[in-house]
Chain A
Amino acid sequence: MAKSGESDGPPRGFSRRDFLRGGAAAGVLGTGLLRGVPPAEPAAAAKTGAGAPIVGPGPVPMNFRINGRAMSARLEPRVTLLDALRTRFDLTGAKRVCDRGTCGACTVLMDGKTVYACSILAIDAQDAEIETVESLGSVERLHPLQAAFVENDAQQCGFCTPGFVVAAKALLDRNPVPTLAEVHHGLSGNFCRCGTYAGIRQAVLQVAQAAAADPVYAPGLPGAPGVETKKREDEAVDPEKKHKKKKKKHKGGGRHGRR
């Protein structure tokens, strides 16, 4: 587990490009990494002549902010955000299907925007607010969008479903009353094999219609049709507000306030 203190982790804002450039410049270390042979012990952050900091290829401490909580782990720099979520943090709602940024089953929100978690290195996700499907609702207290998915049977085997739920949530957050064409466009980055698209678009449009009927309504609020109103107390209209609220709660975590 990560120790506390600023010096232990890789520097903030460390991009994948920097990492690769640094790795290539690092001669032996870079070659070792490309061959996929891990060194005996993790190399801690080091500086090359060019000034690019080098970490890995062994495990290095990383800190995250996931679903409003501070989390940390020692991970190899090559570990993707998806694998970190699934194997280190036991957040398995995001699925590994194509593992190359095409199918959308691993969709999570990064600072409110949908990303394919399989195509983001965990090390690059440290500065962001990560929200997974687990942050939306629970079995006992479904988010209205999730309730609409259930009501419209927008799932069969269910393996693609969490990715669709997150993508639909992001769509409705930025466009609470989308047209059918906008729903199609907003969800075109996700694939389903069982053929649940009919239910999915019906579910999303149902939530959108509720939003259109009630100007106060937004996807984050209780009150979507067909939804029992045993809603989460902490669901706010504005996802930004939600973040801020949670940030306050986790004041002690430090180092996460980015904005």
Chain B
Amino acid sequence: MADASWPKAEERRLIGTRVSRLDGPAKVTGSARYTYDIVRPGMLYARLVHCPHAHARITKLDTSAAEALPGVKAVRVIQGAGAEIQWALDEIVLVAATTEEQAEDAARAVIVEYEILPHYVDDMHLDRAPSTRAGQEETAGEPEKAMAEAAVRFKGTYGLPVIAHNCLEAHGQICEWNGARDTMTVHCSTQAVSALAPQFSERIGIPAGNVHVICQYMGGGFGSKFSADRWGIECAEISRQAGGVPVKLMLGRDAELTIAGDRPSAYAEIEVGASAGGTLTAWISRSWGSGGLGGSGNPPLPYVFQIPNRKQAHVSIPTNTSSSRAWRAPNHPQGCYLAMSALDDLCAKLGMDPLAFCRKNKAILGALAKTYLEELEVADKLMGWSERWKPRGASGKRSVRRGLGLSLHTWGGRGHRSSCEVTLQPDGSVEARIASQDIGTGTRTVIAMVLADSLGLPLAAVRVQLGDSRYPASGGSGGSTTVGGVTAATRRAAVNVLRMIFDKAAPQLGTTPDKLEAVDGQIRVQGEPGHKLTWRQAAALFGRAPVTTTGANPGAEGDVELTGSGAGGVQMAEVEVDAETGIVKVRKMVAVQDCGLVVDLKTAESQVYGGLIMGISSALAEEKVIDPVTGTMLNVDFESYKLAGIADVGELVVHMMTGPGYDERGVIGLGEPPVISPAAAIANAVANALGVRVPYLPLTPQRVLDALEAHGKGAA
């Protein structure tokens, strides 16, 4: 019986197993062609001229010298004399030339003069902000009264800075206008193949159907690559201006770090109250932060614990920096860090083990309470928390001190709107087409696994085509929505193929369609394995023409059958802090994660490892340093915009919650959840080791030493 619901555990052959990503060989051999790698015949190279000032007005602009240089084919003024520039490295002029070196020369030959205007870039000090924008406010219960009545209260200030997406493949595209047909072909490093065509169409004035977007491989997005971006539109326009030759424009690293993706900062004054036994009763917080001119998001506070009496208000501070973009789990890493830090400090004041504190407050953990409790139990064993946890400051005055910290997190992750087309050829070959994109999460692989498993075929017998806007539309890869969307659409398309096959095959096998099953490359009668057609014989029943069917996932509102929402995770960190040097080392991290039905266990674990590592990096090293005097970003390279290296991440242990109680929730996305907790868990472990809270990220030696000095708890 061809039923579109997920097969039962005992019927799954591929779903839930460990499959190596299908495009792995192309990536390890260097044969995978990213946008940055594509060279089109006659292609020109484009370069941007950026504004070096944070706030300025263009007083003079002269491109004549650039236009006269050899090899220069087109020059476009993006913002001309009189334009007011609001952030550093905003785009002013685009040049296109035969070679990259010539384009570089031309960009340098453009003359732009500015009147420098006053700027504001301080996002940390709310009292200094010239203007603020109100964000979300929420009040429940009677927070002031509950706080006054709380037996134990703690008040603290915490914060985390703006960090960058810093995609290894810079933002960029190759645009190719065809004048005769009025079409625009765009090879773009994007997380949204389907959505990009309408964006280009609207801005360059050609029909959306005439825009062809292609992205086979993309080198990292993390939420920053959903837009066509102004530089993309300008690249399309300069291709048209140059007469329809392909033009490649990739951002330089300084621009990639400065204008192509920020995560908003968040700071908060938080007061929490509990009973003497550790039952949370009250929360009052005031938070602020900046996401550039566009304002910041609202960190969800008090995060996973729905404290009955709570009040929170957020304001954003506009600054002369480019607007923030969605950064993996938008707002959650901030909300999680702020809340879990304050609750950890409250635990310390209560003299309570944070693990016991979580269990004590399970009643306010909402729908995921059971998940969290089960995960805490697993994490406890994997970290050896119960045997090894000691109250804060147990390391005393020793120079090297160890500590443990934990954090909980959640994310939605229901599948997005997606459609899939499956074609069965007379020779039995099967291909799925879907205008999704594989941003490194293993999307190709999960589509192939679901398709093959649904049809009873080996993985090698199916092909997957994605990354092309001419295929059936699918949502952007953001918010952990892709895996649910594409697997649900693929499952339904595959089951539709089976239904067609069963209808044709049933008379041949002298039975009815509902008695058939597709197993081991055969269409056979249930319970009568000898009564069968081979897959190829079944495909040939349609004659000599291919057949195509489709399947769809309705998106966030519609599907509750195949995809779920609301993943819960627990992470624990063990750190070693040198109180003399201030250096924090992550010794070990444990991540226990739920995401409903896991499709590919191997790539699912990779998402969690990746989340841990990216989280460690943000906890220990990452910060966009903006010079208050010039308003420009100072650390625009990999030497000074620090990322964690392979030696910095310690031992990593990942455990996926699967099986009964999890699988039946359907497929839930996983890209966001594991990156939420690491900074909170690490910061709490540092506080546990030192006996002192280091309140601001990243946990640099300077900040550690400052915190120790402020509390008089440095090394003896």
Q: Could you tell me which A residues sit within 8 Å of B by CB distance?
A: 36-38, 40, 76, 78-79, 83, 86-87, 90-100, 102-103, 105, 132-134, 136-139, 142, 146, 149-151, 153-162, 165, 183-185, 187-188, 190-201
Give chain A residues whose Cβ lies under 8 Å from the Cβ of B617: 195
Give chain B residues whose Cβ lies under 8 Å from the Cβ of A139: 25-26, 29, 31
The 6 A-B pairs with the shortest beta carbon distances in the complex, nearest first, are A93-B30, A195-B613, A159-B219, A157-B440, A158-B27, A195-B610
B142 at the interface (CB under 8 A from A): no
**Distance (whole angstroms) from the CB of B123 to the closest CB of chain A:** 24
Give chain A residues whose Cβ lies under 8 Å from the Cβ of B170: 97
B606 at the interface (CB under 8 A from A): yes
A201-B25 in contact (CB<8A): no
**Interface-central residue, B29, B218, B439, B639, by most chain A CB under 10 Å:** B29
Chain B, 589-611, CB within 8 A of any chain A CB: 602-603, 605-606, 609-611
A94-B101 in contact (CB<8A): no
**Distance (whole angstroms) from the CB of A85 to the closest CB of chain B:** 10
Q: Could you tell me which B residues sit within 8 Å of A by CB distance?
A: 20-21, 23-34, 36-37, 39, 69-70, 100-102, 104-105, 108-109, 166-170, 217-222, 252-253, 439-442, 602-603, 605-606, 609-614, 617, 637-639, 643-647, 649, 652
Nearest residue (CB) in B for A96 is B36
Give chain B residues whose Cβ lies under 8 Å from the Cβ of A91: 30
SS of A interface (majority):
loop
B33-A92 in contact (CB<8A): yes
Give chain A residues whose Cβ lies under 8 Å from the Cβ of B606: 153, 156, 196, 199
A158-B219 in contact (CB<8A): yes
**Distance (whole angstroms) from the CB of A206 to the closest CB of chain B:** 13
Taken together as a complex, chains A and B put the C-alpha atoms of A159 and B614 apart, in Å, by: 16
Taken together as a complex, chains A and B put the C-alpha atoms of A158 and B28 apart, in Å, by: 7
Nearest residue (CB) in A for B107 is A36
Give chain B residues whose Cβ lies under 8 Å from the Cβ of A138: 29, 31
Q: What are 25 A-B interface contacts by the 8 Å CB criterion?
A: A83-B100, A92-B33, A93-B30, A97-B169, A98-B637, A100-B253, A136-B29, A139-B29, A153-B20, A153-B21, A158-B23, A158-B26, A159-B34, A159-B219, A162-B28, A188-B647, A193-B220, A193-B222, A194-B440, A194-B610, A194-B614, A195-B612, A196-B609, A197-B644, A197-B646
Taken together as a complex, chains A and B put the C-alpha atoms of A100 and B637 apart, in Å, by: 8
Taken together as a complex, chains A and B put the C-alpha atoms of A38 and B170 apart, in Å, by: 27
Nearest residue (CB) in A for B250 is A96
Give chain A residues whose Cβ lies under 8 Å from the Cβ of B638: 97-98, 100, 102-103, 191
**Distance (whole angstroms) from the CB of A211 to the closest CB of chain B:** 19
B610-A196 in contact (CB<8A): yes
Taken together as a complex, chains A and B put the C-alpha atoms of A103 and B643 apart, in Å, by: 10
Give chain A residues whose Cβ lies under 8 Å from the Cβ of B104: 36
Give chain B residues whose Cβ lies under 8 Å from the Cβ of A78: 101
Taken together as a complex, chains A and B put the C-alpha atoms of A60 and B69 apart, in Å, by: 19
B26-A156 in contact (CB<8A): no
Given contacts A78-B101, A156-B610, A158-B217, contact A137 B29 (CB under 8 A): yes
Taken together as a complex, chains A and B put the C-alpha atoms of A149 and B100 apart, in Å, by: 33
B166-A193 in contact (CB<8A): yes
**Distance (whole angstroms) from the CB of A108 to the closest CB of chain B:** 10
**Distance (whole angstroms) from the CB of B89 to the closest CB of chain A:** 16
Taken together as a complex, chains A and B put the C-alpha atoms of A161 and B168 apart, in Å, by: 11
